[in-house]
Amino acid sequence: MEKWHMKWSLEVVQIMLPDDYVSGIVASEDDWGVAISAGNSVLQLGLESVKELEEGQELLKRIQGWLVALLQQGALNRRERVEGGNVLAALGDPRFRKKAWYLPNEPLLGFVEIPEGSFIMGEFEEQHEVTLPTFYIARYPVTKAQFKVFVKDTGFSPGNPECLQGSDNHPVDWVSWDEALEYSNWLSRKLLHLATNEPKKDSLEERERHFWTGLQDGTLIVTLPSEAEWEKAARGAEGRRYPWGREKPDLERANYGACFAEPALGTTSPVGCFPRGATPEGVHDLAGNVWEYTRTLFGKDPFERKEGWIRSYVPRWWTRSLRGEKWLGPEFAYPYDPKDGRENLEAGPEWDRSVRGGSWTVDARRLRCAFRDALPPTSRHGGDGFRVVVSIIQR
């Protein structure tokens, strides 16, 4: 495209697009829709060509600002937000810092502090009190962009290449528990190096100082959350039924229902585009989108060494019934006891690992904070992902 034509086209888009998004302004549905259209226009013109021009860079920044706000404000309906989030991924999602392995562009790189204290774990007759030290949970599930950096940096070969395909700001899927743990260990090394070698501001808040000092002296590591950590982050000290509270799920709060006749999205969605479903602490996508592996053992897999659809697609709590056996519950039942062997990271592939949160495929019942399911550590599926925590080393 001729340079003059490119400049003329950019000027047309600039006239369409509202001024820079400013927090607190009241935007109309037309404003949000124009922002999505403007992003698509830039992609059609050619992103790299647009970035070569100063006015193109300024326009791109404006569009990105509007699309980030679209997700954060929960504007428009879920399908339009997902479209906006996908456009944002293609343009470059500024919520994430490229030089920090595409972790969120925040002081703690997207880790949210969950203070020490007790909470009620489980539900119904299984409710019991669990006390945990302070830990930090990732605001979002691990994204494809984050996992791609790990693969490129280490030369790691994932078992299913589909985990690297799709929009960068969607949660990574098609990964196994073992691969999730490999990523966690890699990121732990990266954050240790960052905490040790990067100068820190003298004016750090206490939570920031605890985070970086803990990583530096080795008392904190990056790992998968335990079941207890995941559930506390989701339900809080007040015992929420769902991450957002006690209100029943709806399709504007979470991405779920594709296999249960819901008018659902039918795939993963950009992280953070269901802000009504976030916790009060600002942790997103704990209900729906992808199941999230924990490091906690659940029980022995009744179909261990049985390859095929049964291992990846049948929920763990169904399997004994399918074999004609009475369902007696998992081997690692409640009350939760981290010292009874359930936090053993070296257990073999015959032991299922707990998964939490539901996914885009499940019905609303599985979105409860206390709902437990499990998968073999070798399982890979388009509805399975993970998030990480910075937590005290388990002795």
What per-residue confidence (pLDDT) applies to 309?
A: 39
Q: Are both 387 and 277 inside the same structural domain? A: yes
Q: Which residues of 162-183 are buried (b: 16+ CB within 10 A; e: fewer)?
A: ebbebbbbbbbbbbbbebbbbb
Q: Are both 260 and 210 inside the same structural domain? A: yes
Q: Find where tokens 């599930």 sit.
A: 141
Total number of domains constituting the chain: 2
Q: Are both 124 and 194 inside the same structural domain? A: yes
% of the chain residues with pLDDT over 90: 79
Q: Are both 67 and 130 inside the same structural domain? A: no
Which of 60, 94, 128 finishes a domain? Answer: 94
**Which pLDDT tens digit goes with each residue over 57-99?**
999 999 999 999 999 999 999 999 999 999 999 999 999 999 9
pLDDT, the chain, mean: 90
**Which pLDDT tens digit goes with each residue over 143-167?**
999 999 999 999 999 999 999 999 9
Q: Are both 59 and 119 inside the same structural domain? A: no
At 121, which CATH number? 3.90.1580.10
Q: Are both 193 and 318 inside the same structural domain? A: yes
Residue 305 has pLDDT above 80, yes or no: no
Length of the chain as a residue count: 395
| Alpha helices (runs of H) in 17-51, residue ranges in sequence order | 29-45, 47-51
Q: Which domain holds residue 11?
A: 3-94
Q: Are both 85 and 121 inside the same structural domain? A: no
Q: Are both 370 and 390 inside the same structural domain? A: yes
DSSP letters for 285-346: -SSBSSEEEEEEEEEE-TTTT--SHHHHHS-GGGHHHHTTPPP---SS-SSP-TTTTTT-TT
Q: Are both 207 and 338 inside the same structural domain? A: yes
162-186: average pLDDT? 97
Range name among 13-27, 129-143, 306-320, 361-375 with the lowest pLDDT average: 306-320
Q: Are both 148 and 223 inside the same structural domain? A: yes
Q: What is the pTM of this model?
A: 0.93
Q: Are both 56 and 105 inside the same structural domain? A: no
Q: Is the dihedral of CA 329, 257, 376, 342 positive or negative?
A: negative
Which of 49, 74, 94 finishes a domain? Answer: 94
Which of 94, 128, 160 finishes a domain? Answer: 94
Q: Are both 183 and 295 inside the same structural domain? A: yes
